[in-house]
Each structure stands twice: as structure tokens, then as C-alpha cells.
Chains A and B, each alone.
Chain A
Amino acid sequence: MSDALDLRALSPDAANRGASSGDDTFPTYYEQPLLKRPHWGWEVVTYLFVGGIAGGSGMLIALADRTAGEDAALARNARYLSLALAAASPVILIKHLGRPERFHHMLRVVKFKSPMSMGVWGLIAFSAASSRAALAQAARDGLVPGWLAFLGPRWFTNPAQALVGAFLAGYTGVLISATAIPLWAKGKRHIPAASVCSGFGAACAANAALLALRNEASDSQRKLERVELVAGLAELAILLDFRRSAGALGAPMFDGARGRKLTNATLLGGIVLPALLNVLPFHPRWKTIATSALTLFGGYALRESFIEAGKTSADDPRAAFRQPE
């Protein structure tokens, strides 16, 4: 008897509410959202973006050090960059939390069940490894007394930065997937992988731009362009597969104005266009810098799309009644 009743018909503005998950058999409670929206704004988006570049740079250091000095300039820049971004991260998070002492509340527990707790400890570990690596680099560069180099031996800092860096680039995707938000939970196999690819690609772009700005080592740039191409195409494939598998649940991210923005800023502007520019046979500095700027902008737009689409997904009661398993 109750199933025959369509409560939505009682709601005068039912037609104006957000995208439906497609299952129209559910009665809703006056189209009210079931779930609460996360209150995360630009600070969280920026942290996801910055953490991704920092972590990706950590991975690049270990790669650049494999080539017997050919990519020494890249390794050096990446060491300084990863420290700078790791140091900026807590500042961004504190801006989000409101007061500095609130950050240290996260340091009173270690919770394996909480990706945010794991992430904070990952950030601390990454900062520690990056500080030592950058200090040793500064010692080798003659910026600080040379004997300080023993504090950051490469056999220790390289694998540490690579492993924890990969974690740093990916855990933010785990963090949003392990929620009740239908879009995010549905993306548990796609969002973390896309985050890693996006972070790694953005790190390649940032380091290529640094090399170009400093007029250093064009061989390293060609290598960065190649791995950036792979990361970008992987990201593109993952996002397209996410779109396919999410079906109606993916509407907040892939349809409408936000979908167009994702297509233009991330898929086309942030992946396809840089890939085309990268395979062009000539390599002026302006091209490297323009390509990097496009990739970085696309990476930021992707993180923003994840967060903002998650808020819209939370507003869809039908999607939330049967939560993705």
C-alpha cells in the first residue's frame, strides 16, 4: 500500500532537486538528503593537490637517482620541492582546522582504521625523510656545512621518500572512498588509483617546469614527459572506467556543468592537450612550462571535482538508501 504512494509528488519543487541515482522505486522523505555534506572547502582541495605533488616528487627522487648522475638536477630539485610542499601541508590543514593546536590533536592517537590518522602520520614521516634528504642535498650543494650530509644518506631517504610519497599521493583517495558518500564509496577502486596517477603526473609537470625555469638537463625533461604521458593516460582510462561503472551514481561528477568542467579542465586540458604537446618533436622552454601549467591546473580541477561532486552526491537520498557495498 505504501509503495504505491509517491511522496515526491507531494513536494512542490521535487523536479528542481539534484540529480537522482536513477532508482525511482524509493519513496523519499520530502526529497530531503539522507546524508550530511562534508564541509570541506578550498583548503582540503589544495591539500589533496599539494600532497599529491609532494608524494609524486618523492617517487621521482628515487627514479632520478637510478641513472648514475644523469638526472642529478632533477633529484636535487625534487628534494627541495618535496620538502617545501611537505612543510606547506600542515599550514594548509591548520587553515582548514582553524587553530594551530588543533593539528596536534591528530598526533595523540594512531588509528589504523582511520585513513585520516594514517595520512597525518604519513605526512609526518614524509616530512622527516624529506627534511633529512633536503638537508643532505643542501650540504652537497654547499649551502650548509658538508658534514651535515651524513644526516640524510640517499640509501635511506630515497626509498623512504618513494614509499611514503606513494602513500601520500594515494591515501587521500582512500580517505574519501572510505565514507558513506555514494559517489566516493562507488569509486573505491578508481578514485585512489586516479589520485596516485594525478599526483605523480602533477609532480612530473612541476619538476619539468622547475628544470625548464632553471635551464637544466633537457634529457631529464624528456624522461619526465614520458612518465607524465603514461600517468596521464592511465588517469584518463581510470576516470573513464569510473564514469562507466558508476552509472547514475556518477552524475554529480560527470554530468552537467561540473561534468563539462571536468572534461575541459582535467580530461582534455589537463591530460590530452599536454600529452599532444609532449609528443611534439621540438621542445622550447615555453612549451614545457605551458604543458606543466595545464597538467597542474587539471590536477587541481580533478581534486576539486572529487570534493564538490561528493557534496552533491550526499544530497541524493535515493543513492544513500542503498549504499554501495
Chain B
Amino acid sequence: MATGFFTDTTLCIGCKACEVACKQWNQLPADGYAFSGNSYDNTMALGGTTWRHVAFVEQPAPLDAPPSESKWLMVSDVCKHCTHAGCLEACPTGAIVRNEFDSVYVQPDVCNGCGYCVPSCPFGVIDMIEHADYTRPSFPSDGRTDDDALQRHGGVAGKCTLCYDRQKVGFTPACAKACPTDSIEFGEVEELKARARTRVATLRARGVDARLYGIDEDNSIGDLNAFFLLTDRPATYNLPERPVLPSTHQPAAYGSAALAALALGAIGCLVFRASAP
């Protein structure tokens, strides 16, 4: 059964309970205490040990404008668990697999830290954890940055597991469990899609410019098991407007290499000829 998230940004209140719950359950290290000045977002991006990220888009409005005209958008971003996942296709070890919940899962003990999945994700989700403790298969990092023994082992790739371990025992993923407004809904993907389509229709009837991101779109990624309801264009939330599956570039790229090799080989054959006796 395919399970996933429907993240309805119109319900998000920016409490970051999902970020905290994710960090806590998955025993991921803190991101530090930097102050970004970018609204209330000091996390700034998903990363190898940051698997939920609440983005804050605080749009200024004139002081005398009615409250309805000011806009403060929030979205809890997460790994999309794509139907056609760039990271999964790129992985040369088979460490990244699709599990029985149809989630894209990194097996940390198989990952060899080659890093090819990182530039292969069109959403910029997966990243390297430099100091990984691969000996603990349930979670890839303890975040120690000064431990020489761990450093020697090299890093691994890290991203949202869709709480594989919690799902195994029938629990809801930590972020969805903690979400106080049900902005993050967890469930069976087809059921979530139906609910999302109804929700969009309702919002539009109320005059809200709502749109779904990640399902019912025509692109090479296919539907996302973690999809979103947005009220502005995707770029506003740092989501790609038109993601492209990297492996679709391969035919042209292999063709380019083959053409060059054939041309050079042919010219080489012309140059390397036995001289006339």
C-alpha cells in the first residue's frame, strides 16, 4: 500500500512542531542557532539531518491595508517520495530502495557515500551527512562533528524515511502525528489525493487561489507521494516549477559520447595506416 503526506499549506500555522518531532524521533542533530532574518525561518532548507523544514514567506503589505491583504505563507517541506525518483535511479549501490509503503528509503549501511544522489534530486532534498554512524541502521547520524573515528568512515546520504520504523508498527510518521492543525495529513496516497482535490475545489469556491503541487501534473517525475496544496506559485516556496527527472537526459548524453568516440575512431583509422611499401 502506498502511503504519503498531503501537506495543506492553508492550515499551516508555522509552529515547527513537525521539525521538532522529526528531529526527536529520528534522533537527528540540531542545525545550530543561526539567525537568518528571513521571517521566522532559521532552518532555511532541508538537509541530510533536517527532514522537515517549515518555510515562511512573509509578504509585506501597507499598514492601512485590510488584514486579508497581508500574506504570510508557510509550508512544511519534506522529501517528495517521487514516483520516478532521481536519487533512487542514480544510486549505484542499491542503497536507495522503494519500500513496501512505496516510500523512497536510504539504507544507511549499504550507502557508500558516493554522493551521486545529491545532484540527482530535482527538489534539492537529499544531502550528505558528513559524520555518519552507519552502525546504527535505524538512523544514519549522531551529528558528532569532532569524532575522528566516525569521520574516517566517510559520510552517507540522508533524507526523510517517511518514518519507516513507525509505519512498520502501524504508527503515523512523527511530523504528521505532531501537527496540531492537520496541515500534514498522513494516509493512503489515493485517498489523500481525493481529499486534496476536494479541498482545492472548496478553497477555490471561497475565492482562494489554491493549487495542488505534485499530483495531476504532466512531468517526468510523476506524482509525488508527499504532495502539497499551495496558494502561490511554487518558486515562492522554493519548489521547482518544472522538475525534470535527470535520467531523461541520458539518451542525448550517451549519444553525444558515442558520436564523438566514433568520429575520433574514424579519424584515428585514417591517420594510423600502414605506410605504403
The 6 closest A-B pairs by CB, nearest first: A98-B154, A170-B257, A29-B238, A192-B257, A102-B112, A193-B260
Interface of B toward A, CB cutoff 8 Å: 36-38, 41, 44-45, 47, 55, 57, 59-60, 71, 86, 89-95, 110-116, 118-128, 152-155, 232-244, 246-250, 252-261, 263-265, 267-269, 271-275
CA distance A200 to B120 in the complex (A): 27
Are the C-beta atoms of B124 and A66 separated by less than 8 Å?
no
A264 within 8 A of B: no
Cβ-closest chain B residue relative to A106:
B92
| Residues on B with beta carbons closer than 8 Å to the beta carbon of A192 | 253-254, 256-257, 260
Are the C-beta atoms of B271 and A29 separated by less than 8 Å?
no
CA distance A309 to B92 in the complex (A): 24
Residue from B91, B118, B126 with most neighbouring chain A CB atoms (10 Å): B118
Residue from A108, A190, A192, A322 with most neighbouring chain B CB atoms (10 Å): A192
B237 to chain A, nearest CB (A): 7
A227-B242 contact in complex given A26-B235, A195-B257, A196-B260, C-beta closer than 8 Å: no
| Residues on B with beta carbons closer than 8 Å to the beta carbon of A227 | 264, 267-268, 271-272
Residue among B124, B235, B269 making CB contact with A35, cutoff 8 Å: B124
B224 to chain A, nearest CB (A): 15
CA distance A49 to B221 in the complex (A): 32
| Residues on A with beta carbons closer than 8 Å to the beta carbon of B242 | 321-323
Cβ-closest chain B residue relative to A200:
B264
CA distance A32 to B264 in the complex (A): 43
Interface of A toward B, CB cutoff 8 Å: 2-3, 5, 7, 10-12, 26-30, 32-40, 59-60, 63-64, 66-68, 70-71, 96-99, 102-103, 105-106, 108-109, 111, 113-117, 119-120, 162, 166-167, 169-171, 173-181, 184-185, 188-197, 200, 219, 223, 226-227, 230-231, 234, 238, 310, 314, 317, 320-325
A116-B254 contact in complex given A32-B44, A39-B118, A169-B261, C-beta closer than 8 Å: no
Are the C-beta atoms of A2 and B256 separated by less than 8 Å?
no
CA distance A108 to B118 in the complex (A): 21
| Residues on B with beta carbons closer than 8 Å to the beta carbon of A234 | 260, 263-264
- Extra pairs beyond A5-B60, A27-B236, A97-B114 (20, CB < 8 Å): A30-B44, A37-B119, A38-B115, A59-B265, A67-B274, A97-B113, A116-B116, A169-B257, A170-B256, A177-B253, A180-B243, A190-B256, A223-B272, A227-B264, A227-B271, A227-B272, A230-B264, A230-B267, A234-B260, A325-B244
CA distance A39 to B154 in the complex (A): 12
A70-B274 contact in complex given A99-B153, A116-B116, C-beta closer than 8 Å: yes
Are the C-beta atoms of B119 and A106 separated by less than 8 Å?
no
CA distance A173 to B71 in the complex (A): 45
Are the C-beta atoms of B272 and A34 separated by less than 8 Å?
no
A64-B112 contact in complex given A188-B253, A193-B260, C-beta closer than 8 Å: no
| Residues on A with beta carbons closer than 8 Å to the beta carbon of B257 | 166-167, 169-171, 173-174, 192-193, 195-196
| Residues on B with beta carbons closer than 8 Å to the beta carbon of A63 | 265, 268-269, 271-272
Residue from B45, B233, B261 with most neighbouring chain A CB atoms (10 Å): B261
CA distance A164 to B118 in the complex (A): 27
A170-B260 contact in complex given A180-B246, A223-B272, C-beta closer than 8 Å: yes
A-B contact pairs, 13 of them (CB 8 A): A28-B238, A35-B122, A35-B124, A36-B119, A36-B124, A37-B119, A99-B154, A102-B113, A181-B119, A192-B256, A322-B241, A323-B122, A323-B244
CA distance A294 to B244 in the complex (A): 38
CA distance A64 to B273 in the complex (A): 9
| Residues on A with beta carbons closer than 8 Å to the beta carbon of B260 | 170, 192-194, 196-197, 234, 238
A114-B92 contact in complex given A7-B236, A40-B115, A317-B238, C-beta closer than 8 Å: yes
B86 to chain A, nearest CB (A): 6
| Residues on A with beta carbons closer than 8 Å to the beta carbon of B37 | 12
| Residues on B with beta carbons closer than 8 Å to the beta carbon of A194 | 260
| Residues on A with beta carbons closer than 8 Å to the beta carbon of B153 | 98-99
CA distance A33 to B45 in the complex (A): 9
CA distance A200 to B262 in the complex (A): 12
Cβ-closest chain B residue relative to A322:
B242
Residue from B71, B112, B240 with most neighbouring chain A CB atoms (10 Å): B112
CA distance A180 to B85 in the complex (A): 12
CA distance A178 to B267 in the complex (A): 28
CA distance A129 to B122 in the complex (A): 37
Cβ-closest chain B residue relative to A320:
B240
Are the C-beta atoms of A115 and B112 separated by less than 8 Å?
no
Residue among A109, A174, A322 making CB contact with B93, cutoff 8 Å: A109
Residue from B57, B234, B236, B250 with most neighbouring chain A CB atoms (10 Å): B250
